[in-house]
Structure 1
Amino acid sequence: MENHEYSVGLDIGTTKIVAIVGRRNDRGKIEVLGVGKAKSLGVHKGIVNNIAQTISSIKAAVEQAESSAGVNISKVTVGIAGKHIRSLQHSDYIMREHPDKYITDDDIEALKDQVRKLVMLPGEEIIHVLPQDYKVDSEGEIQEPIGMHGKRLEANFHVVVGQMGSIRNIVRCVREAGLDMEALTLEPLASSESVLTKEEKEAGVAIVDIGGGTTDIAIFKDNIIRHTCVIPYGGGIITDDIKEGCSIIEKHAEQLKVKFGSAVPELEKDSTYVTIPGLHGRPDKEISLKSLAQIINARIEEVLEMVNTELKAYGAFEQKKKLIAGIVLTGGGSNLKHLRQLANYMTGFDSRIGFSNEYVSNDKSQQLKGPEYATSIGLLMESLKIRDKSEVNYTQEEVVEVKNTATEVDTTNNVTEKEAEAQVEKQIVEATKQKGGRLTFGQSILEKVKKFFEEVE
């Protein structure tokens, strides 16, 4: 299988590193070809703190994905999080040289490039420049300015910023693992791709991705990204609390949290205990599930208070900015029993658990159903978007090139314009067959449109 036929998402998390290989099927859904997972040994709270261990973990996950998919992986879309991430709002504009010509993608990119030149704090670098709405001359609140005419093009932007050192460390780990980086994407944005619906983004929703080392938040309203942030606490700190509170080893603390943990102590019985085996001949230890839930509750309430603070910072409790769709909880931490009820109580918003397999067509074994795969599937979706866009651009360039060649031939042979167009189409199809026997995404759309009009005639 050739590289252009599939895409890869690589989630470098605090507890695990996941590589997912997939492609888009004929119905537009994702077909997962292979999954690789390895324990993350060199990442703490979303930040790489051991280069060698992180490279080793990436290689292990990628090799497993290659083996299960039967392909060679060379290019990946990578997620980034960590406590160093922050966001800001910024407005900027450009004056167009030719206002008589309509606005194109090039104008939008020129405006984005201008924003990317913003001076940040020492050691910081811009990761994302996300347009929220546009203004053309005196006309504001425009969602899509392409095709319009105007001299002054202005936009409000959501700018995501991170520490240069942390970004460079991720890039280095990926490259030294023998991979090319296709794109670097903020993890809550990737998670939102895989678990949120368009209706939720329109109505107003906050995605809260509780990972091992961080809790990532992204807020959408009117289908526009409004706020992003990373809280430096996740499921890992709950495990640490259980370890200290119950005086047990980390392995047993993690198992206790996953199998018996609850976010609401009142729903646990006083008489229910679980036995932990003693170390090296020491006596077994009995732990009350109510006491376990109290330890978990204290930390998860702290995390939810921080989520509340971010919701207030955005203005989610104001009437105009109200999140009608509430909160979507995802990430491995959202598997915690009774977390949804506690989130409802503490935030005042309705919440649901966001499962990431909605867009996956071949997950019959439910392997990817868990919310812990939300980010990695979102990164795969982002990679597929990038590939689709590049194929459309490539197709357009190819059409122009073939058309120019055909025009020259046609002029020499004095054929009619209709015959020339037929000649161009034939050459495009022939060129496509030579490139692998299948039409690209953009070409397939052109073929479907052409077939539709032929049937109408």
Structure 2
Amino acid sequence: MEPIFALDIGTRMVMGLVMIKNEDQTYEILASAQTEHRQRAMYDGQVHDVDEVARAVDKVKTQLEKKIDTKLKQVAVAAAGRALRTEVAVVEQKELLPVRWEREKVLALEIEAVHQALRQLQSSANEELQSYHCVGYNTIARWNEGEEIANLVGQRGRVAKVSVIATFLPRTVVDGLVAVLGRVGLEMTSLTLEPIAAGQAAIPPNMRRLNLALVDVGAGTADIALTRSGSFFAYGMVPMAGDEVTEEICTQYLLDFKVGEKVKRELQKKKQLSFTDFLGAKVVVGQSDILEIIKPVVVRLAENISNEILKLNNGVPHAIILIGGGSLTPLLSELLAETLGIPQNRVGIQVRDRLAGISGEKTLKGPETITPIGIGIAALEGNGLQYYTVSVNGTSVPIFALQLATVAEALLAAGIQPRSFLGKPGAALTFELNGEMQVIRGTLGSPAQLLVNGKPSKLDQSLNARDEIIFTPGESGKDAQICFKDVLPLYVTKWILWNGQSEKYVPQIFVDDQLVCETDQIRDGYKVAYLNNNDLDNLLQQKKYNINQKEAIEITVNGELLRFELDRQVWVNNCLAEGNRPIQDGDSIETRLKELTVGDLKLKPQPMVFHINEEEVEYPIQEIIITSQGQPVSESELLRDGTELRVSGYKQKPILSELLPYVKFPDKVHTGETLTLTVNGQPAEFTTVLHPGDRLKVNWEKVNN
């Protein structure tokens, strides 16, 4: 196996190793080199000064090339684990009619889910301005018609749904590394994550069954990786590390950062330290005094690391393994054990000497060597993310993948939207026709055209480095368009008589109660009411004539207003229409009210009442006489609105002599008495005409001579 150049670009130091895997499956370090940044050029694992970091990388590369007498062109690196982001996303695709879910459609749906995961990531408050590389995804669930299914390909349905978990790295992190390597003529071939790389070297596979916490304490951050049941299951980060301790020393003694770093490193070796402060004064101080100064900072660091471990692990792990240059910070291991409540011997620093299967370069001893060794192991075992470039429509696109990427993933990395992979069908036209849903489908779209190295390809074709992809987006189908006349029954004109008037009877089309023309275009969402001219019900609806509604007429009887509600009727060709019936060309239609006659009123006149000698007397009705406007009417006469009737029981008013039979006279009349007649107190004659209510007095009275 060819040697691998593993490079660890840290916040404080750049370390490079050239490693090889032997036939006995052990690893050998052929050469190593390291240097520190002259100034702070890396912050939290991200390149901030490309030229300064490139200077340090070039120095390490040059030293290694001299040691192995070979030009180095390719390199394996690691990205800060805290930069890794994962998102779970679910997308759904609906079709109007059932379709067969072929591989191309399913793959496009999966890539759309990855896009959705990216949108979710970028929409979060802290990530909205960040851009990402997708470094891999897995489909974790699939559904067809709401039923979870193992594989969508070949299934048939209207609704498909997939759920994916996608992993992303910020483009700024990756692009910064690529820019640095490009400055010194190196090509990235493998990318791993720092906690994964460190874990590969620091914790053997057979120990990962235990619940262990690996803490890589660097200069700016402390990365955390947790194992359980044979694998790493969680990663975390604390945004403070060794630099916090160094800065506390610098603040207390007014030191340059490099001098403060030197003092910190010598704390474990010397009981008394001497140094010169920034103003030139020589300072001599005891180890215990400096430990007291830095202890509050180390306590805070230990507490932050412990809290993150407890949050990720949901409990205290079996042991803590420290690596990285910051793991040598005085008091850290003791305070970690105390904070977590575990024995001191359960917190240890992993060093090169305890790594099994690693030979060569015996000078590499400290915990800061663990991560670069892990980067080399990951590259040699092929566990890193493959990195290479392909061309999409002439633009170079970086590809990261745990396996060979597909054309679909390359298009995703190039920012091409999945919806353009397959031309969408034209939008369907949906509308309601007399309450029933109608669907007019658009035309089908055309699929995208794909060429890889000049040959036709498919979305799921695997890619190799430097492949050239030409992508022509699929064309969408045409949206559905149609006129009313194309979906409605045959349009026929009829002529009818409506209440005696000749009229044209044609079908009517309404949209939201507005009359439209048969040649108008139907729009999506229209609610169409179509009234054909084939029957009586449609005619009455056109005329807005409600057959079930009653109509009122008013008549006057002897000055009293009477109101009647009459049923409506429709007569077709002089025949009463009972229910619906066809309407033919030339039919006569009349709307009438149900007949009401004088006889239906059963009118009875009021008898005349008189008062005779203080007694009430009813003059009997002679006959019923009904008149209208002075003319007699019969009981069969039809009544109309506004008719005025007079009802009487007498042809003429009676005279006084006609009421004498109703007078109670005394049985015996005396001599000298005469009959006296008065009406309403006035003398009257036998021929005096009477009026209803008149008061009569009829008596025999004695006449005085």
TM range (shorter): 0.5 to 0.7
Q: CA deviation at 1:126?
A: 4.8
Q: Is the aligned partner of 1:314 residue 2:307?
A: no
Greater strand share, structure number? 2
Q: CA deviation at 1:370?
A: 0.9
**C-alpha contact 1:79 1:185 (8 A) present in aligned 2:** yes
Larger Rg: 2
Give deviations 1:316-347, integer Å, cap 9, x for gaps.
Answer: 31xxxx633x2211001112344322211112
Give deviations 1:223-276, integer Å, cap 9, x for gaps.
Answer: 2332222322221221111111122232331122111159xxxxx9xxx54222
Partner residue, 2:285: 287
When residues 364 and 300 of structure 1 are mapped into structure 2, their CA distance, relative to the original with a 3 A threshold, is same
User: What is the TM-score with the length of structure 1 in the denominator?
Assistant: 0.66
SS of the equivalent of 1:292 reads helix
AA aligned opposite 1:53:
E
Q: CA deviation at 1:60?
A: 0.8
**In structure 2, how many angstroms separate the alpha carbons of the residues matched to 1:344 and 1:112?**
46
TM alignment of 1:266-415, pairs within 5 A: 273-277=272-276, 282-317=280-315, 323-324=317-318, 326-349=319-342, 350-357=346-353, 358-363=355-360, 365=362, 367-386=363-382
Greater helix share, structure number? 1
Q: CA deviation at 1:88?
A: 4.1
Partner residue, 2:26: 29
AA aligned opposite 1:340:
S
Q: CA deviation at 1:49?
A: 1.3
When residues 363 and 247 of structure 1 are mapped into structure 2, their CA distance, relative to the original with a 3 A threshold, is same
Q: CA deviation at 1:209?
A: 0.1
Partner residue, 1:187: 194
When residues 388 and 335 of structure 1 are mapped into structure 2, their CA distance, relative to the original with a 3 A threshold, is closer
Give deviations 1:345-399, integer Å, cap 9, x for gaps.
Answer: 112343221224514543363x222110111111111110129999xx99xxxxx
Partner residue, 1:9: 6
Partner residue, 2:267: 260
**In structure 2, how many angstroms separate the alpha carbons of the residues matched to 1:220 and 1:115?**
28
**C-alpha contact 1:328 1:351 (8 A) present in aligned 2:** yes
Name which of 209, 215, 220 aligns with 1:202: 209
AA aligned opposite 1:377:
I
When residues 125 and 313 of structure 1 are mapped into structure 2, their CA distance, relative to the original with a 3 A threshold, is farther
When residues 354 and 155 of structure 1 are mapped into structure 2, their CA distance, relative to the original with a 3 A threshold, is farther
**In structure 1, how many angstroms separate the alpha carbons of the residues matched to 2:21 and 2:78?**
20
Give the % identical residues: 20
Partner residue, 1:412: none
Q: Is the aligned partner of 1:231 residue 2:233?
A: no
Partner residue, 1:55: 54
**In structure 2, how many angstroms separate the alpha carbons of the residues matched to 1:82 and 1:385?**
19
Give deviations 1:88-146, integer Å, cap 9, x for gaps.
Answer: 4648799x9899xxxxxxx99x9899658721213142565587x97899xxxxxxxxx
When residues 304 and 90 of structure 1 are mapped into structure 2, their CA distance, relative to the original with a 3 A threshold, is farther
**In structure 2, how many angstroms separate the alpha carbons of the residues matched to 1:288 and 1:171?**
45
AA aligned opposite 1:45:
D
**In structure 1, how many angstroms separate the alpha carbons of the residues matched to 2:350 and 2:110?**
34
**In structure 1, how many angstroms separate the alpha carbons of the residues matched to 2:111 and 2:27?**
30
**C-alpha contact 1:32 1:360 (8 A) present in aligned 2:** no
SS of the equivalent of 1:151 reads coil
**In structure 2, how many angstroms separate the alpha carbons of the residues matched to 1:46 and 1:54?**
12
**In structure 2, how many angstroms separate the alpha carbons of the residues matched to 1:69 and 1:387?**
25
**C-alpha contact 1:87 1:228 (8 A) present in aligned 2:** no
Q: CA deviation at 1:67?
A: 1.3
User: What is the TM-score with the length of structure 2 in the denominator?
Assistant: 0.44
Unaligned regions of 5+ residues in structure 1, if any?
100-106, 138-148, 263-267, 395-457
Partner residue, 1:426: none
SS of the equivalent of 1:378 reads helix
Partner residue, 2:517: none
When residues 93 and 164 of structure 1 are mapped into structure 2, their CA distance, relative to the original with a 3 A threshold, is same
Structure with bigger RCO (C-alpha 8 Å, 6+ apart): 1
TM alignment of 1:106-121, pairs within 5 A: 115=114, 118-119=117-118, 120-121=121-122
**C-alpha contact 2:303 2:336 (8 A) present in aligned 1:** no
Partner residue, 1:408: none
**In structure 1, how many angstroms separate the alpha carbons of the residues matched to 2:168 and 2:302?**
24
SS of the equivalent of 1:33 reads strand
**In structure 2, how many angstroms separate the alpha carbons of the residues matched to 1:61 and 1:31?**
19
TM alignment of 1:38-53, pairs within 5 A: 38-40=35-37, 41=39, 42-53=41-52
Q: CA deviation at 1:164?
A: 2.2
**In structure 1, how many angstroms separate the alpha carbons of the residues matched to 2:134 and 2:283?**
48
When residues 204 and 163 of structure 1 are mapped into structure 2, their CA distance, relative to the original with a 3 A threshold, is same
**C-alpha contact 1:194 1:356 (8 A) present in aligned 2:** no
